[in-house]
Amino acid sequence: MEGVARWSQRGAVVAMAAIAACATVPPCPERGGPVWRELTSEHFVLRSDLPLDEATDVLRTLEETRAAMLASVWRGEAGPLGRTQAIALSSPREFAAFTGPLIGGMHLQHPPFRPTLVLGAADATQSAAKHEVAHELAFSVLPVEPPWYAEGLAGFLQTIRYDRAQGDAYVGEPAEDLYRYFSTGGPMDLDRLLGRVPDDPFQAVQFYATSWLLVHYLFNKRFDGWQRLTDRLARLEPGRAAFLAEFPDLSGDGLYRTLIDYARGGQYTVLRPRVAPWTATPRVRTMADTEAHGARAYLYWALRDRNDEITDATLRTEIDEGLHGPAPSVDALAVAFYGPDAHVKQRRAELAALATRTHPESWMSWLMAADGESNGLLAKRGDLFRGLAKAPDEPEILLRLATVDAQEGQWDDAVALTNRILGAGLVHHGLWLLHAQALRETGHCAMADRWAASLSAYLPLAEVPAIAVLEERPCQEGADHRPSDAGTTATAAPASEPVR
C-alpha cells in the first residue's frame, strides 16, 4: 500500500551542546548505579543500563524496524550474518559523555570488535536508531558504497514508522530536520556530493541534507534508475562514473534545478508494507560489573578520536575495573590488547593468555591469542581454528585465516575466504585491500582492477597509495595460480578510520 503526501516544514534540531557540557556517566552497579543487562533476540544482542521494560522496548523497535526495512527496500535479503550488536545508554548525558556533542546514535565500525549500534535513551526508538539500523543492513547487501549513497539511504529510512496495532510500516516520510537544512542552505554541488564527506561541519550538514533529498527523489521519481545505479555499484563501477552514466541530466546545474523543484512542490509516495509485530521474548542476562566496565571501556576507546573529553585516565580506569577479579571482561581484555593508547601494565601475551584461560568460549580470546602469537603461522592457525569452532561465521577470524593463507602464498584459499567475508558485510579496509590483491594473484585481473578503481574513492586519502602498490603487481588473466613465496601487502590490521 502507498499514499501520496506533500512536504512539511515542521521539526526542530535537537541541541546537544548543553547536555554535553554536563555529560556524566553513572556509577556501575557495585557502586549503586543502574543494572546492566544483555538482551538477545533473533537478530540483535542489546547491552543496556536502561530499566528492563525500556530496554525490551528498544529491542522490539530494532526488530520491527529491521523487518520493515527489509520488506520495503531489500526484499528477499536476509540481512547480516549473526546478530547485530547494540548498546543503549540510559540518559542523554551518559550518551554525550562517550560521544561528545553529537545528535542521535552512531554505527561504530571498529575492528576487531563487531559493528555496534550505539543509542541514547532519548533517541533509542527514534530516527537515530533507525538511521544506524539502515547502515547495518545496507553494508550487508552492498559493503562498498559511495558516501552520499550510504548517508542518503540511511536518511531516507530513518523516518520509518511502524503501527504495531495495524501491522503497517510507513516508509518514505520526510526527514524534517534534513528538509529544513536543505531549505536553508540549498543543495551541495554535484562534484562535492560525489566525493568524501566534508570535514567542515557546515558543509557536512549540507552533504547529509542533499544526499537524503537526492535518494528521496530517486526513490520517488526515478526508481528504475536507482535500481540500475545500485546494480552498477554492486559490479564495482566507480561511484562517480556510475552516477553520471545513469543520470547524465543531473550533471552541471541539473542536480541543483531538479532538487530545488522537487523540494518546493514535488509530491512523494509513502510506502506501507505489511510487517508482523515482534512478539518474541528475549533472553535476558544480568551482566557482571566487570562486563559493564568492559562495555564502557570499548565505547571510550572507540570514540576517543571523536571526543576530546575522553582522557587516558578515563579509559585506563574503565579497563582496570573491567580486568578486576577472577572473571575479567573480554571487552576490557580486547581493548587493552588492541589499544596502543590503553597503557596497561600487562604485556599483550599476558592479556591473550588471561583471555583464553578465563574465557575459552569466546572467539575474541582466540583472536587475541592468534594476533599475539610469536611461534609462527602454524601456531597462529591453531588459535584461529579454535576461535572458528566457537563462531564459525565470525568475519574477523576468517579474515585472519585469509591473511595467513596469503602469507603462505595460498591465494586460491585466500580469495575463497575473502569472498565469504564480503558476504557478511564487513566494512574493513584491510579486507578490501587483501581481496583486491588475492584477485590479482589468482588471475582475476579485470575484477581486481574494478576493485582498485572503486576503492580509490572510498579509502581515506592516507590509504589510497596502497591501491597503487597493488596495481603495480603483475597479473596474468586466468593464470593457474599455485602456491609461491609471494608475500602480501595487505594485512588484517584494524582500519584506521571507520567507514560510514
* Phi-psi domain of 97 (left: phi exceeds 0; alpha: psi -120 through 50; beta: other): alpha
Average pLDDT over residues 331-337: 96
User: Is residue 401 located within the same domain as residue 256?
Assistant: no
- Residue 169 is assigned to a structural domain of this protein: yes
410 Cβ contact partners less than 8 Å away, ≥ 6 residues apart: 483
200 Cβ contact partners less than 8 Å away, ≥ 6 residues apart: none
- Residue 474 is assigned to a structural domain of this protein: yes
pLDDT digits (tens, 9 = 90+) for 6-28: 444 333 334 444 344 445 788 87
**Domain holding 231: CATH number?**
1.10.390
Nearest to 160 by CA among 72, 57, 44: 72
Predicted local confidence at residue 122, as pLDDT = 56
Please, are residues 71 and 414 in contact by the beta-carbon 8 Å criterion?
Answer: no
Q: Can you read off the three cell numbers belonging to residue 95?
A: 550518551
d(C-alpha 240, C-alpha 147), whole Å? 11
d(C-alpha 383, C-alpha 375), whole Å? 11
Between these two residues, 407 and 308, which has the higher pLDDT value? 407
Count of domains for the chain: 2
- Residue 369 is assigned to a structural domain of this protein: no
- Name the CA dihedral angle for 369, 373, 378, 381, rounded to a multiple of 10 degrees: 30
Of 271, 290, 323, which marks where a domain is finished?
Answer: 271
| Residue at 183: amino acid letter | S
pLDDT digits (tens, 9 = 90+) for 121-144: 655 457 878 888 898 899 888 888
SS3 content of the chain, % helix, strand, coil (to 5): 55, 10, 40
Please, are residues 138 and 426 in contact by the beta-carbon 8 Å criterion?
Answer: no
Residues in the chain: 500
- Residue 158, phi then psi, degrees to nearest 5: -70, -10
User: Is residue 122 located within the same domain as residue 266?
Assistant: yes
pLDDT digits (tens, 9 = 90+) for 467-478: 888 777 788 887
How far CA 357 is from CA of 10, 216, 330, 333, 362, in Å, comes to 56, 52, 11, 12, 10
- Residue 49 is assigned to a structural domain of this protein: yes
- Residue 122 is assigned to a structural domain of this protein: yes
Please, are residues 380 and 373 in contact by the beta-carbon 8 Å criterion?
Answer: yes
Q: Can you read off the three cell numbers belonging to residue 81?
A: 550474518
Q: Is the pLDDT of residue 482 over 50?
A: no
- Residue 33 is assigned to a structural domain of this protein: yes
- Residue 447 is assigned to a structural domain of this protein: yes
Q: Is the pLDDT of residue 194 over 50?
A: yes
Q: Can you read off the three cell numbers belonging to residue 376?
A: 609462527
User: Domain range spanning residue 256?
Assistant: 2-271
- pTM of the predicted protein model: 0.83
Predicted local confidence at residue 23, as pLDDT = 59
d(C-alpha 291, C-alpha 38), whole Å? 10
- Residue 314 is assigned to a structural domain of this protein: no
Of 241, 271, 301, which marks where a domain is finished?
Answer: 271
DSSP 194: T
Of 271, 298, 318, which marks where a domain is finished?
Answer: 271
Average pLDDT over residues 364-388: 94
